[in-house]
Amino acid sequence: MLINNDTIIKDTDPVLRTVSEPVELPLSEEDRALLTDMMQYVIDSTDEEKAEKYNLRPAVGISAIQLGIPKQLTAVAIEEINKNNETVSYKFALANPKIVSFSKQKAYLDSGEGCLSVENEHEGYVVRSARVTVRGYDMLTDRNIEIRARGYLAIVLQHELDHFKGVLFYDHINKDEPYKEVPDALVI
């Protein structure tokens, strides 16, 4: 499937608010191909040459509903620096992922969040859980996995799984006080 900035559904389309359905496992060839293309988009989107050549916006994740397909499929690929100042890469091609636990401590990105489906800027803190545990099937390892995520990875996973419920990041911004500080929050 061709995935680029022109084929990604924008937030002006009510389809993006559709609730996504679980997929059957083992994955069908169609779902496997879709998830493979989604992962390739995320990887290619961070390569400046490919991004320019193929009209890709930089991304760390994408969910199937952003392509108009209401299935619980998402691809995530991020790099972050750990506490030992080492670069750690995370890549997941998930089917039917669910958050099974989350921390009371909150977290947010100091610079705010963005989304491939959102072209207009929405300023403010998107407050989420600082830690989450996600369970689902990962196509890359071909097994059911449990991801214990903290910080940036936790935020990215929550953002992508929100798409399954038709929720966009700016739905979490405090409309009256978009930059209201959150006590004891992990600020990234």
The domains found in the chain, sorted by start residue, are 14-187 (3.90.45.10)
pLDDT at 177: 96
If one counts every other C-beta atom within 10 angstroms of the C-beta of residue 149, the result is 22
Task: Please state, for a pLDDT cut of 70, what percent of the chain lies above it.
Answer: 100
More confident residue, 80 or 142: 142
What pLDDT, in 10s, does the model give residues 20-37? 999 999 999 999 999 999
Distance in angstroms (rounded) separating the CA atoms of residues 98 and 133: 8
- Would you please indicate which residues are annotated as catalytic (active-site) residues? 160
What pLDDT, in 10s, does the model give residues 69-100? 999 999 999 998 888 999 999 999 999 999 99
Distance in angstroms (rounded) separating the CA atoms of residues 99 and 133: 6
